[in-house]
Amino acid sequence: MAISTKRRQASFSASDDFSPSPSPPPSSSRPTKKDNRANTASSSSSKFSHVFRPSSSSGNAAPAALPARSHTPSYHRPLLLDQPESIQSLLDWFISVSTNRSMPWRAPYIDPASYSSPASLREARKVRAYQVWISEIMLQQTRVETVKSYWLAWMNKWPTIEALASAAEDDVLAAWRGLGYYSRATRIHTAAKKVVADPDMDGLLPETPTELEKNVPGVGPYTAGAISSIVFGKAVPILDGNVARVLSRQLGLYASPKAKVTTDLLWAAAGVLVKKAYEVGGEKGTVPGEWNQALMELGSTVCTPLKPRCGDCPIRSSCRAYQEAEADSVKGKRKKEDVAIVDIEDLCSFCEPFPFEEEAAQDTITSKDVEAEKQKRVKKLRQATLSFGFQAAKSQSKPPDQDTATLDKHICKFPMKLEKKKIRQEECLVCIVTTPAGEYLLEQRPSTGLLASMWQFPSLTLCTTAAGPAATGEQGVQQMFPSTPMPELVDSFVAALLCTTSIKAKEERVKVASITHIFSHLHLTMHVYKVVLEEACNDADLDGVKRGGKKAKTDAEGDKNKNFGSKLGDIAPRRWANADEVEAETMGTGMRNCWLALQTQQQQQPSVGKAKTAARSKKK
C-alpha cells in the first residue's frame, strides 16, 4: 500500500494493515524512485470525483441499513465537507490537547511574516524541518513515550542537519540503539549527507511532497506530507494508521486495506479535507499542519482501535460509523419502510460484505455478559434497598454499558480487519566464542537487509518455516542439519569461523539459554552456546581477519539470504573484542539479550561453585 509506515503502536493494534513496513534503502541495483505517488492526493481526487461531488442526497443520506448495508459510492463523501463548524471544532480541540502528551518536537508554526529577512526564515525552517523529519522517522514502529528521550538526546548530540551529516556511521547507529529497525538510522544518515551536499537544497529539506519524495532517501508519502504541512504550511494530506482509522469511520468505508483503490480513496479523502480545513481556517499557514496533527492525535487518543471514546470526539456528528451504530438498524429495530432502496448498478464497489449475521452468537454472549454484570450490581444494592422497606423499580431500558458495548462493537469493525498472516519462524545457533584472555568473537552482518552492518555473535540458521498458511505443520519446516547432533554442529561451526579443520575447547561447551525474539516479520529462537578456546587459537585466521582487524566486504554480502543466521562456511568481516567493547557495540535487541544471558550465567557460577564446595566440606 502507499500509506506510510506503522507508527505510534501504543495507539493502534498490531494487526492494523493500513501501513506497510519501511521500504528498503535504495541501492545501485534498484531503479530510481518514481514520483508516481508524489501527487497521490491530487490525482486521486479527480479519480473519485463521483464520490466527492456535492449532491442533494449525499450529505443527508440515512445511515446504511444492516445487514445488507446497501449504499452508493457517494455515501463515502466526507460529511465534514458540509460541516465547517465540525472542522473548526477539531482544530480547536487539537489546540486544547496538543501539549497534553508533552511531545518535545511539537512547536509553533514558523510564520514567514515574523521574520525580517529571507535568510533568517530559511535558517529557522531548516532547523524545524530537520526536527520534524527526525521525529517522524523515529515514530515509525515505535511508541511515543519511547521516542521522547531518544529525540531529545539526538537533538542534543546533532542539533542541525549539518552536524548529523558529518557524524560517523557507528555513532549514528549507537544513538539509535534500543529503537529497533536500524535501517531507519542508516537512511536518515544517508539522506542528511545528501541534503547538505546538494547545492540546491543546501541543508534545507524541500517544501513539497513531490520534491521530498524525489530528493530525500527514505522519505515516503506520509513523511513528505507531514514535513510539507507542519513546517511549510502546505495544504497537503498525510495518511498513517491512525488517520486511516479515523477516515474509515468518518466515511463508513468497510474496504480491504490491501486494495489499492482503498488506499487511493483514503488519500483522496484526506486531500479534500485538508484543503477544506485550510479554507475554513482562513487559509492560514498554521492550519494544514494543525489539521493533520489533529487527525493523528484523534486516532491516537480518542478514535482508538478497540475502545473508542466517541463521547469525547469533536467530529462525532460527521461519523458514518457512529451514525450506523446509533441507528435502529444496528439494534435490529429498523422499520422496512425506512430502508433506502439502491439500484444494483449504483451500489458501492469499494466496500466488502459486512460481517453481521455470522456474529450473532457473539452478540448474544456480549449481552449475557452485560446482564451478568448488571445482576452483580443489583445484589450489592439490594441490602441498602431493603433497609428502607422499598422494592427497587424495574428498569425497562437497556443499561448504558450495554448501549455503549453495542455502539463500540459496530464502530470497531472499521477499518476492515484482515486475517493475520502467520509470520515466518527461524531457529538459529548463536556461538559466543571466547578466549581465556576474555576476548569475544564478533562478526558483521551484511550491508543490506535485517540489522544491516551491525556486529553480533556468529549465528547459524538451523531451521526455518515459510510465512503464511503453508507454514503450519512439519511439512512447512526446512531443517538445515536434520541429523547432526548439537555438540558436533557447534564444533563444526566454530571451526569454520576460525578457518580450521577442528577446535579444541578448554572446557566443555556450555549451553547458555534459548532466547526468543520477535521481529515484525520473523519469530526467532536463538540457542546460545558459550565456547572457550585454547590460548593458541587467539590469533587464528578469521577468514583473513587478524586480531582487532576488519576485513573488506566480500561477495557474500550480495547473497540474498533472508534468514537471520548465516550458512555454514559463509564469509563475513570478523574481529575479536573485549567485554567492554562488546558492551559498547551497537547490537540488535535479540543479540543484546544473548549477551545479558551470558553475563547472568557467569554471575551465578561463582555462587554455585561455593555451594558445591560447602556441600563437600559438610560431607567430610
Q: Supply φ then ψ for residue 200, to 5 degrees.
A: -80, -45
pLDDT band at 5 (very low <50, low <70, confident <90, very high): very low
Per-residue pLDDT, averaged over 357-367, amounts to: 46
Q: What pLDDT score was predicted for residue 335?
A: 47
- Tell me the CATH number at 528: 3.90.79.10
The pLDDT value recorded for residue 361 is: 42
Inter-CA distances, 18 with 6, 370, 417, Å: 8, 32, 9
Kindly state whether residue 39 falls inside one of the protein's structural domains: no
CATH of the domain at 117: 1.10.340.30
User: Of the candidates 163, 169, 315, which has an alpha carbon nearest to the alpha carbon of residue 251?
Assistant: 315
254 pLDDT higher than 50: yes
* Statement: residue 546 has pLDDT above 50: no
How many whole angstroms separate alpha carbon 574 and alpha carbon 552?
10
Cα 272 to its chain centre, rounded Å, is: 26
46 within some domain:
no
| pLDDT of the residue at 439 | 93
Q: CB neighbours (10 Å) of residue 215?
A: 17
Q: Is the pLDDT of residue 422 over 80?
A: yes
pLDDT of 393 reads 43
User: Do residues 288 and 167 both lie within one domain?
Assistant: no
Q: Please tell me the distance from the alpha carbon of residue 178 to that of residue 597, in angstroms, as a whole number.
A: 17
**Omega before residue 108 within 30° of 0, cis:** no
What is the per-residue pLDDT for 420? 80
What the block records as the C-alpha cell of 233 is: 504550511
- 616 falls within a domain: no
Domain limit, last residue, from 232, 252, 286: 232
pLDDT band at 542 (very low <50, low <70, confident <90, very high): low
What pLDDT, on the 0 to 100 scale, is given for residue 534?
78
Lowest mean pLDDT among 63-77, 195-209, 250-264: 63-77
Q: The CATH number of the domain where 341 resides is what?
A: 1.10.1670.10
Q: Who wins on pLDDT, 25 or 565?
A: 565
Is residue 251 within 8 Å of residue 240, measured between CB atoms? Answer: no
In-domain check, residue 614: no
Q: Are 592 and 515 in contact (CB under 8 A)?
A: no
* φ and ψ of 8, to 5 deg: 50, 65
Residues in contact with 112: Cβ distance below 8 Å, sequence separation at least 6, in sequence order: 121, 285
CA dihedral 468, 470, 475, 477 (to 10 degrees): -20
DSSP assignment string, 284-348:
-THHHHHHHHHHHHHHHHTS-SSS--GGG-TTGGG-HHHHHHHSTTTTT---GGGSPP--GGGS-
pLDDT at 38: 43
In contact, 100 and 382? CB cutoff 8 Å: no
579, 503 Cβ separation under 8 angstroms? no
**Around Cβ 308, how many Cβ atoms within 10 Å?**
26
Mean pLDDT for the chain? Answer: 81
Residue owning grid cell 521500504: 23
C-alpha R_g of the chain: 30
| Residue where a domain stops, chosen among 232, 253, 270 | 232
* Residue 98, pLDDT above cutoff 50: yes
Cα–Cα distance, 424 to 436 (Å, whole number): 38
114 touches 285 (CB < 8 A) = no
pTM: 0.76
Sign for the CA dihedral angle at 559, 565, 566, 568 comes to negative
The residue count of the chain comes to 620
Residue 502 confidence (pLDDT) above 90: no
Residue % of the chain over a pLDDT of 70:
72
| Same-domain check for residues 439 and 505 | yes
Question: The C-alpha cell of 401 is what?
Answer: 454499558
Q: Which of 22-26, 445-449, 605-609 has the lowest mean pLDDT?
A: 22-26
| Nearest C-alpha neighbor of 139 from the set 244, 293, 291 | 293
What is the tens place of the pLDDT at every residue in 377-415? 545 545 444 444 444 444 444 555 657 788 899 999 999
Question: Can you list the positions of beta strands (E) in 397-476?
Answer: 424-434, 439-444, 455-456, 459-465
Rounded CA-CA distance 509/431 in Å is 10
Beta pairing class for 522-532 and 424-434: parallel
pLDDT band at 419 (very low <50, low <70, confident <90, very high): confident
Nearest alpha carbon to residue 182 among 24, 29, 9: 24
Q: What is the mean pLDDT of residues 149-171?
A: 97
Same domain, 96 and 115: no
Report whether 490 contacts 429 (CB < 8 A): yes
Look up residue 296 and give its three cell numbers.
493523528
Residues 365 and 510 in one domain: no
Judgement on whether residues 306 and 375 belong to the same structural domain of the protein: no
Please tell me whether residues 317 and 340 are part of one structural domain.
yes
Cis peptide before 112 (omega within 30 of 0): no
User: Known catalytic residues?
Assistant: 136
- 255 lies in the same domain as 315: yes
Taking only the tens place, the pLDDT of each residue in 128-156 is 999 999 999 999 989 999 999 999 999 99
Type and span of the H or E element at 59:
none
- Which of 542, 558, 568, 556 lies closest to 428, judged by CA? 568
Residue 441 and residue 542 in one domain: yes
Average pLDDT over residues 487-504: 83
Predicted confidence at residue 526, as pLDDT, reads 96
What percent of the chain is predicted at pLDDT more than 90? 57
Look at residue 305 and tell me if it is in a domain.
Answer: yes
Instruction: State how far the alpha carbon of 492 is from the alpha carbons of 136, 330, 495, 498, in Å.
Output: 45, 65, 5, 10
Query: Phi, psi at residue 516, to the nearest 5°?
Result: -105, 135
185, 204, 232 - which closes a domain: 232
Q: What is the pLDDT of residue 113?
A: 95
Indicate whether 31 belongs to any domain. Answer: no
Query: Quick count: other Cβ atoms within 10 Å of Cβ 364?
Result: 10
pLDDT for 180? 84
| pLDDT confidence of residue 103 | 97
Domain shared by 90 and 124, yes or no: no
211, 262: one domain:
no
Do residue 543 and residue 603 come from a single domain?
A: yes
* CA–CA distances in Å: residue 36 to residues 221, 328, 500: 10, 44, 53
Domain that holds residue 576: 424-608
Amino acid letter, residue 289: G
pLDDT digits (tens, 9 = 90+) for 33-50: 444 444 555 666 678 988
The C-alpha atoms of residue 507 and residue 469 are separated, in whole angstroms, by: 44
Of 330, 420, 323, 316, nearest in space to 366 by CA: 330
User: Which whole number is the average pLDDT over 531-555?
Assistant: 54
In terms of domains, do 305 and 372 share one?
no
User: Within a domain: residue 131?
Assistant: yes
Q: Tell me which of 494 and 545 has the higher pLDDT.
A: 494
Per-residue HEC secondary structure of 557-573 comes to HHCCCCCCCECCCCCCC
Number of structural domains in the chain: 4
Retrieve residue 285's grid coordinates. Answer: 499557514
Residue scoring higher pLDDT (432 or 543): 432
Q: Over 50: is that where the pLDDT of 314 sits?
A: yes
Q: What is the DSSP string of 128-176?
A: HHHHHHHHHHHTBTS-HHHHHHHHHHHHHH--SHHHHHTS-HHHHHHHH
Residue 311 lies in a domain: yes
Residue 361 backbone dihedrals phi, psi, to 5 degrees: -65, -40
Flag the least confident range among 137-151, 272-286, 539-553, 595-609: 539-553
